[in-house]
């Protein structure tokens, strides 16, 4: 079940909210657990047992670490092996076998494995819980029901953000909801839904249309790279906005996952702003345990490359994701050891070069094979191609407005204008009247698009 569907918006969510707010507070975790399990079952009925197993495994791993501190390292290792073993089997086993067959000319069988939706997200969330208990940073959940509610919460279950237990520990059994927080959550949810349906989906269609050109042009390749970048950003950040908004409605405060990353002044800055919950997970649970930058430059370079290889693999069992991860790892090393002072001094040049490098990265991200990556990069820099054609101009004209909206929405400018208006008495009065009306109109437009449009994927569900 996806958030941008009629089933979720007008059946599942209203029924969930009705049940949640009708029951006494002590039963609300149970309501969330039941609806979250149904939410997952609706889209992944076959593999819900994996999610339930993860709940049981990691809850009891945490309990055993607390009960048997002398053996906590062995318990931690066992739980990590099982968690990542399942992740490897479902996500990477066939990729591994395929490459073994290719390298050694063997004929090992490829299994018919379907990857459970969101397994990367809930595996990382579960392992962070066990590791934090091992490190003494959190106490285990009071009971299995509370932990299962935390791990299966449908707002962030299948596409993040990765919520650590410490973030919601206090709110699991003691949280408050009020009209202000619910209104804040609904607003955030609707705006995120708009980003997904009205911007990401349309730009996805733009990229598909550009793929059908009879004569690909230099401009069409760059427009396609731009469409990919905006589509991925608005798709994933829109989902995060919806998850955070739903969290507010239920009384949870999830951490922000995006902070206008396409306005970054460097690649380092970009990864401080993009998919923050993932980059901080790798920092805290892989980079720092490997030694971080504490043991000399050579080991720091090794650690950075390991982390970015892992980041690429996390996104998918495919060579394009591995290349994508190492691409960023190498760029970060170049910045850190060569270009950082230059970029700090020339900020405008930093913004422009970073945006271009991000565009190129998402070409790698969205392209299926190495051959396709090479073909696309040739298209981007082949000056023998015509710059544009009537056909390219036709599609650019059709999608020009949505591209302009995407450019405006990628930065904090509208938010700043909103805050300035809201800080004045007259502006606050105007916003109090116009905001709810605008959100209702926006929801109506979104619903119309959902009903009418067959192109409605969530890109990060595959991770």
Catalytic residues: 315
Q: How far apart are CA 460 and CA 443, in angstroms?
A: 23
Q: How far apart are CA 461 and CA 196, in angstroms?
A: 13
- How crowded is the C-beta side of 399, counted as CA atoms within 13 Å? 28
């Amino acid at each position: 079940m996806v958030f941008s569907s009629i089933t979720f918006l007008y059946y599942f969510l209203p029924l969930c909210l009705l049940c949640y707010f009708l029951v006494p507070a002590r039963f609300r975790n149970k309501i969330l657990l039941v609806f979250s399990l149904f939410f997952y079952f609706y889209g992944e009925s076959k593999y819900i047992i994996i999610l339930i197993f993860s709940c049981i495994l990691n809850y009891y791993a945490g309990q055993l670490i607390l009960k048997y501190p002398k053996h906590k390292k062995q318990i931690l290792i066992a739980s990590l092996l099982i968690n990542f073993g399942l992740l490897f089997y479902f996500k990477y086993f066939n990729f591994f076998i395929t490459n073994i067959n290719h390298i050694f000319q063997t004929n090992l069988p490829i299994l018919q494995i379907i990857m459970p939706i969101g397994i990367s997200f809930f595996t990382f969330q579960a392992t962070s819980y066990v590791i934090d208990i091992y490190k003494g940073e959190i106490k285990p959940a009071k009971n299995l029901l509370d932990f299962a509610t935390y791990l299966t919460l449908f707002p962030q279950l299948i596409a993040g953000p990765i919520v650590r237990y410490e973030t919601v520990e206090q709110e699991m059994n003691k949280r408050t909801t009020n009209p202000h927080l619910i209104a804040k959550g609904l607003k955030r949810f609707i705006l995120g839904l708009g980003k997904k349906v009205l911007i990401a989906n349309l730009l996805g269609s733009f990229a598909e249309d550009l793929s059908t050109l009879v004569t690909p042009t230099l401009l069409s390749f760059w427009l396609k790279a731009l469409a990919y970048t905006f589509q991925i950003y608005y798709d994933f950040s829109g989902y995060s906005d919806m998850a955070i908004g739903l969290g507010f409605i239920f009384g949870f405060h999830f951490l922000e996952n995006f902070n206008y990353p396409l306005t970054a002044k460097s690649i380092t800055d970009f990864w401080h702003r993009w998919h923050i919950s993932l980059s901080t997970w790798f920092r805290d649970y892989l980079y720092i345990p490997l030694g971080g930058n504490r043991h000399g430059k050579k080991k720091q370079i090794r650690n950075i490359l390991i982390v970015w290889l892992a980041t690429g693999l996390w996104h998918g069992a495919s060579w394009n994701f591995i290349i994508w991860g190492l691409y960023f790892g190498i760029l970060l090393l170049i910045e850190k050891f060569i270009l950082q002072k230059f970029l700090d001094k020339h900020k405008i040049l930093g913004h422009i070069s970073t945006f271009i490098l991000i565009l190129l990265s998402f070409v790698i991200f969205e392209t299926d094979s190495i051959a396709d990556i090479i073909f696309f990069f040739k298209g981007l820099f082949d000056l023998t191609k015509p710059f544009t054609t009537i056909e390219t101009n036709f599609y650019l004209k059709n999608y020009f407005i949505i591209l302009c909206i995407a450019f405006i929405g990628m930065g904090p400018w509208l938010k700043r204008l909103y805050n300035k208006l809201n800080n004045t008495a007259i502006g606050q009065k105007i916003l109090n009247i116009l905001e709810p009306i605008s959100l209702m109109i926006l929801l109506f437009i979104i619903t119309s698009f959902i009903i009418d449009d067959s192109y409605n994927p969530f890109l990060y569900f595959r991770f």
